[in-house]
């Protein structure tokens, strides 16, 4: 069996046919999610990476940190987040924002707090005016049908011809990151990449 990470989001893809092995190694391969995103956003050169697999241990950690509000855990993976300064040295780091209602309920933005703990400078290029049901409570279908929740929080000049790294905690369907990228694309950045703690 041949296993490779999706060229778009790193999701493991398994191939059972012996005849596909040579072909798989020589060309990009995409998971079903990324194939759909490529249809919807044909001009977007999507490349995502994640530090960890979203398994039961990560789910439990995120529940304690994010939903139980244990902000003391923000620095747990600082050693991982510091890598982005070396790997994306000329990028503007843009955390996914929360709505004001969600931030008030939670007490903090889980992404920006992790970056603060790792001493990573960031800019809030986006704002989230619409308050929607928490993603963890949505079905897969509801996540994929989620309307655009973001607006630009800065002028075009802050984004135009800049390299942007959008940062989130978990990549599930990709909908949140694609909405964020789609919003930023209006200001014509030089390049957009995305990264998350887990996938």
Name the residue ranges covered by the structural domains of the chain. 1-40, 47-198
d(CA 168, CA 197): 7
| pLDDT of 53 strictly over 70 | yes
Say how many C-beta atoms besides its own lie within 10 A of residue 34's C-beta. 21
Pairing of strands 163-170, 191-198: parallel
Cα–Cα distance for residue pair 4/190, rounded to 1 Å: 29
Report the Cα 39 to chain-centroid distance in Å: 19
* 117-172 confidence digits (pLDDT tens): 999 999 999 999 876 656 556 676 676 678 899 999 999 999 999 999 999 999 99
pLDDT at 17: 56
Query: CA end-to-end span of the chain, whole Å?
Result: 22
Instruction: Kindly compute the dihedral angle of the four CA atoms of residues 43, 48, 54, 58, in this order, to the nearest 10 degrees.
Output: -130
- 64 secondary structure, DSSP code: I
Whether residue 33 contacts residue 174, with contact meaning beta carbons closer than 8 Å, is answered with yes
User: Alpha helix locations (H) across 27-174?
Assistant: 32-40, 56-62, 78-81, 83-87, 100-106, 110-117, 140-144
Average pLDDT of the chain is 89
Q: Which of 51, 70, 50 is nearest to 60 (CA)?
A: 70
| pLDDT over 80 (residue 21) | no
State residue 22's pLDDT score: 53
Q: Which CATH code fits 47-198?
A: 3.40.50
Percentage, residues of the chain above pLDDT 90:
65
Q: Which of 125, 117, 52 is nearest to 93 (CA)?
A: 125
Q: Is the pLDDT of residue 108 over 60?
A: yes
């Amino acid at each position: 069996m041949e296993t490779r990470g999706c060229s778009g989001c790193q999701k493991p893809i398994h191939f059972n046919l012996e005849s596909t092995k040579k072909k798989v190694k020589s060309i990009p391969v995409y998971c079903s999610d990324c194939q759909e995103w490529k249809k919807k956003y044909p001009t977007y050169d999507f490349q995502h990476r994640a530090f960890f697999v979203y398994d039961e241990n990560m789910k439990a950690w995120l529940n304690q940190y994010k939903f139980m509000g244990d902000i003391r855990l923000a620095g747990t993976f600082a050693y991982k987040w510091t890598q982005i300064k070396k790997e994306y040295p000329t990028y503007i780091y843009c955390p996914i924002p929360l709505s004001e209602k969600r931030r008030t309920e939670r007490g903090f933005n889980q992404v920006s707090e992790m970056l603060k703990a790792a001493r990573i400078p960031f800019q809030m290029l986006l704002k989230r005016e619409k308050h929607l049901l928490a993603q963890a409570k949505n079905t897969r279908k509801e996540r994929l049908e989620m309307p655009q929740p973001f607006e630009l929080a800065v002028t075009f000049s802050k984004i135009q011809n800049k390299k942007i790294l959008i940062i989130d905690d978990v990549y599930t369907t990709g909908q949140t990151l694609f909405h964020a990228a789609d919003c930023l694309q209006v200001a014509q950045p030089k390049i957009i990449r995305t990264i998350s703690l887990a996938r």
